[in-house]
Amino acid sequence: MDIYEENGHILMNSDVFDGLRLIPDGSVDLIFIDPPYNIGKDFNTTKDTWKTDEAYLQWSYSWIDICIHKLKSNGSLYIMTSTQFMPYYDIYIRRKLAILSRIVWRYDSSGVQAKKYFGSLYEPILFCVKNEKDYCFNSDEIRVEAKTGAKRKLIDYRKPVPAQYNSTKVPGNVWEFPRVRYRMEEYENHPAQKPVALLERIIKASSHKGGLVLDPCSGTFTTSFVCEKLERKSIGIEIDETYYQIGLRRVLKKDAHNGKPIKREPKTYEIVTHTQMNLFERAAYHG
Ligand SMILES: C[S@@+](CC[C@H](N)C(=O)[O-])C[C@H]1O[C@@H](n2cnc3c(N)ncnc32)[C@H](O)[C@@H]1O
C-alpha cells in the first residue's frame, strides 16, 4: 500500500478493504461511492466483471457495511452503480440508512446509441443519511435557476400575500450534467470519470468547510480534487497505481512518484507534429 497525506488530503493506493481498515469508525462526514458497476469496463488492474451477480452484490454489501461504520452519526452517503444493480443496493441500504433521494444523473450522448432498444442515458445515485433528524444539507449553496415561474414573472397566488415566484430553487432529483468528454479541460484517461460539477453539488450540499469526505473507489480522485477546491478534507482509496498517480497530480500537484515523472498525457490535438511546426519551431526543436 502506498499513502500520501498532505494539506488535509489522504490518498491511498490500495484495495478498498485495506484502505477502509485504516479509517476510524464514526469519523467521516460524507461518503461518495462510485464503485465498479459490474458492466465489463477495463480499469487496468481490475476488470469490472464478477463471476455472478450475487458475487458482485456480496462484494458490494461488504464494503457498504464498513462504510456505514465510518460515518458520523449525522453523516451522509451517496452511492452509485449501474441501473441493473441499483435496485439491489436500494433494498439492502434502506434497512440500514434513511434514503432521502433517489437521484437520476441524466446526460445526453452524441455517441452511437442502441438501435433495437432504448439506450441508457442516466445513472442512478442514492442519497442516504444515518439520522433523518440530524444531517447536513446546505440548500442555499446549491440553488439553481428556477426556470418556469420566475422567468415568466408569474405571481404565486397560493402565498398568504401573493408574490412573484422565487428566481432560484433547490434542485430536484433529476440532475443534468454533461459527461466528461475527451476535449474537456477536466478529462483524465479513465473510462468512468465523474464530472467535477456533479461532485461539487454533492459536496456543497452535504458537508461543511473543514469536514471530512471519503471516496473508497476514487478513480481519478474527482472527489478529493473538488474537496481541495471547496476547502474540505478528503480520503481517497484507489487500487490502480496509474489512477492513483492521476490523483497525486490532480489533488496534491505532484509531478513525480517513486522517482518517475507523472504528467498528464497530452491530448491528440495538443501534440504538434514535426510537419505542423513552422521554420523557427523546427530550428528550435533540432537545437
Ligand atoms: C467507477 S470508477 C470511479 C471513478 C471516479 N469516481 C472518478 O471520478 O474518476 C471505479 C474505480 O474503482 C476502482 N476499483 C476497482 N476495484 C477496487 C478495489 N477493490 N479497491 C479500490 N478501488 C477499486 C477502479 O480501478 C476504478 O478506478
Mind giving me the DSSP string for 52-87?
A: SHHHHHHHHHHHHHHHHHHEEEEEEEEEE--TTTHH
- Going by alpha carbons, the residue nearest to atom 26 of ligand 1 is 219
Ligand 1 closest atom vs CA 190: 9
Ligand 1 contact, 251 CB (< 6 A)? no
Cα(158) to ligand 1 centroid in Å equals 48
For residue 223, give every residue at least 6 positions away whose Cβ sits within 8 Å of its Cβ, in sequence order, or none: 32, 199, 203, 213, 215, 234, 236
Instruction: Kindly give, in sequence order, each residue whose CB lies less than 8 Å from that of residue 253, ignoring residues fewer than 6 positions away.
Output: none
Distance 151 CA to ligand 1 centre (A): 41
Q: Is 7 left (phi over 0), alpha (psi -120 to 50) or beta?
A: left
Would you say the CB of residue 217 lies under 6 angstroms from ligand 1?
A: yes
Look at residue 233 in the predicted model and tell me its pLDDT. 98
Atom of ligand 1 nearest to the CA of 194: 8
Supply the pLDDT for residue 124. 98
| Residue 25 one-letter amino acid | D
Contacts 24+ apart (CB under 8 A), 50-58: 53/85, 56/85, 57/85, 57/88, 57/92
pTM metric for this prediction:
0.92
What is the C-alpha R_g of the chain? 22
Q: Is 240 in the pocket of ligand 1 (CB under 6 A)?
A: yes
pLDDT beneath 70, residues of the chain: 110-112, 149-150, 273-274, 284-287
Best residue among 11, 14, 17, 43 to mutate for probing ligand 1's pocket (most ligand atoms within 8 Å of CB) is 43
Which residues on adjacent β-strands are paired with residue 212?
A: 233
Phi/psi-derived region of residue 244, left when phi > 0, alpha when psi is between -120 and 50, beta in every other case: alpha
Beta strands in 187-232 (DSSP E): 212-215
178 Cβ contact list (under 8 Å, min separation 6): 107, 108, 184, 195
Distance in Å, CA 34 to ligand 1 centroid: 7
pLDDT value, residue 274:
64
| pLDDT at residue 157, as a whole number | 87
Can you tell me which residue has the cell 452484490? 57
SS3 of residue 257 by DSSP: strand
The reply to whether ligand 1 has any atom less than 6 angstroms from the CB of 9 is: no
**Would you say the CB of residue 179 lies under 6 angstroms from ligand 1?**
no
Compute the distance from residue 194 Cα to the ligand 1 centre, in Å.
11
The pLDDT tens digits for 88-140 are 999 999 999 999 999 999 998 766 678 899 988 999 999 999 999 999 999 99
Residues of the chain with CATH 3.40.50.150: 2-136+173-285
Q: Residue 129: enclosing H or E segment and its boundaries?
A: strand 122-129
> How far, in Å, is the centroid of ligand 1 from the Cα of 215?
9
The CATH number of the structural domain formed by 2-136+173-285 is 3.40.50.150
Compute the distance between CA of residue 155 and CA of residue 163 in angstroms, rounded to an integer: 5
Residue nearest to atom 27 of ligand 1 (CA): 219
Q: Cell 466483471 maps to which residue?
A: 49
Query: What's the burial of 134, exposed, middle or buried (CB within 10 Å: 0-12/13-18/19+)?
Result: exposed
Q: Indicate if ligand 1 lies below 6 Å from the C-beta of 113.
A: no
Q: How far is the CA of 134 from the centre of ligand 1 (A)?
A: 30
Strands 2-6 and 9-13, bridge-based pairing: antiparallel
Q: What is the pLDDT of residue 155?
A: 85
Nearest atom in ligand 1 to 219's CA: 27
Contact 46 CB / ligand 1 (< 6 Å): yes
